[in-house]
Amino acid sequence: MIGIRNVSQVYRTRAGDVEALREVSLDVADGEFVAIVGRSGCGKSSLLRLVAGLQTATSGEITVAGTPIRGPRQDIGFMFQRPALLPWRSVIDNVMLPLEVFKVDRRVARTRAHELLDLVGLNGFDKRLPHELSGGMQQRVSLCRALIQQPRVLLMDEPFSALDALTRADLTVELQRLQMKHASTVLFVTHSVDEAVLLADRVVVLSPRPGRLRQIVEVDVARPRSLGHDGHSAALGELRARLHDLLMTTEEVTR
């Protein structure tokens, strides 16, 4: 579904060129959930923005559903680190925004928005303004907005990183539930190993400066997963430890 071929990204700054990504290649299958982890400065957000068409790679090619990325597309949904809700629009109008831009019939949009809000447990909040909601609820609305255009690919850029630990755990569970139900193709950037092992089919580890693909770790654990005392904690614990070591020993990678 997503094909990333030898992608490099160099930012030109006043202090000289900064190499953010070097020769990264990755394939994401249809319905697969891939998490990208790495320390700050490993270019994981850059990679996601490249797939989203928000910026252009210095070299290499990215395709989604067989078509090269030339700019933002309707079949790609993007969820930001912050909710980025329009503060003057009600919850439902925020969720419907993409369909308004893509000129989808308003009634269809409304029905779909209500369904999504139901799905994330926000029915009854549709007429509220964003500032009346908690951070976790706002990010749920943001998720609905990313899903309403029914994207083939959902890109998530550290979507829960601005939330407190418990709300974050809540939303991770919720996202897992949605993923099990809809099996959408997701590329999920995070710096949280816990989120990665809970949600992903595969975890891609990037090493920093410049961002290179270090290793891909398969998470072969049945869903629903949990970090609590259930049957999977041992297997997940093992994977967490492995990822942790991979992330903490990046210095060993020769430049």
Q: What is the dihedral angle through the alpha carbons of 82, 173, 206, 30, rounded to the nearest 10 degrees?
A: -100
Of the pair 37, 97, the CB lying nearest other proteins is at: 97
Of the pair 103, 255, the CB lying nearest other proteins is at: 103
Of the pair 86, 108, the CB lying nearest other proteins is at: 86
Per-residue burial over 114-135, b = 16 or more CB atoms within 10 Å of its CB, e = otherwise:
bebbebbebeebbeeebeebee
Pairing of strands 33-37, 185-190: parallel
* Secondary structure (3-state) at 191: coil
* Secondary structure (3-state) at 36: strand
Task: Report H helices in the chain.
Answer: 44-52, 91-101, 106-119, 135-148, 165-182, 193-199, 233-248
- Under the criterion CB under 8 A, does residue 228 sit at the interface with other proteins? no
Of the pair 18, 54, the CB lying nearest other proteins is at: 54
Contact region for other proteins (CB under 8 A) — 6-14, 16-24, 83-91, 117-125? 83-91
Under rule CB under 8 A, how many of the chain's residues touch other proteins? 21
CB 174 within 8 A of CB 203: no
- Under the criterion CB under 8 A, does residue 191 sit at the interface with other proteins? no
Contact region for other proteins (CB under 8 A) — 5-13, 127-135, 167-175, 211-219? 127-135
Instruction: Report in angstroms how near the CB of residue 130 gets to other proteins at its nearest.
Output: 7
What amino acid occupies position 122? Answer: L
- Under the criterion CB under 8 A, does residue 84 sit at the interface with other proteins? yes
Of the pair 82, 177, the CB lying nearest other proteins is at: 82
Q: What is the dihedral angle through the alpha carbons of 162, 167, 173, 177, rounded to the nearest 10 degrees?
A: -90
CA 181 to chain centre: 17
Whether the bond into 224 is cis, omega within 30 of 0: yes
Of the pair 26, 76, the CB lying nearest other proteins is at: 76
Of the pair 27, 100, the CB lying nearest other proteins is at: 100
- Under the criterion CB under 8 A, does residue 88 sit at the interface with other proteins? yes
- Under the criterion CB under 8 A, does residue 97 sit at the interface with other proteins? yes
Contacts of other proteins in 33-72 (CB under 8 A): 52, 54, 71-72
Does an H or E element contain 17, and which? Answer: strand 16-28
Instruction: Report in angstroms how near the CB of residue 64 gets to other proteins at its nearest.
Output: 14
Identified binder of other proteins from the candidate list 29, 30, 68, 86, rule CB under 8 A: 86
Contact region for other proteins (CB under 8 A) — 38-46, 109-117, 123-131, 226-234? 123-131
Q: Rule CB under 8 A: which residues touch other proteins?
A: 52, 54, 71-74, 78, 80, 82, 84, 86-88, 97-98, 100-102, 129-131
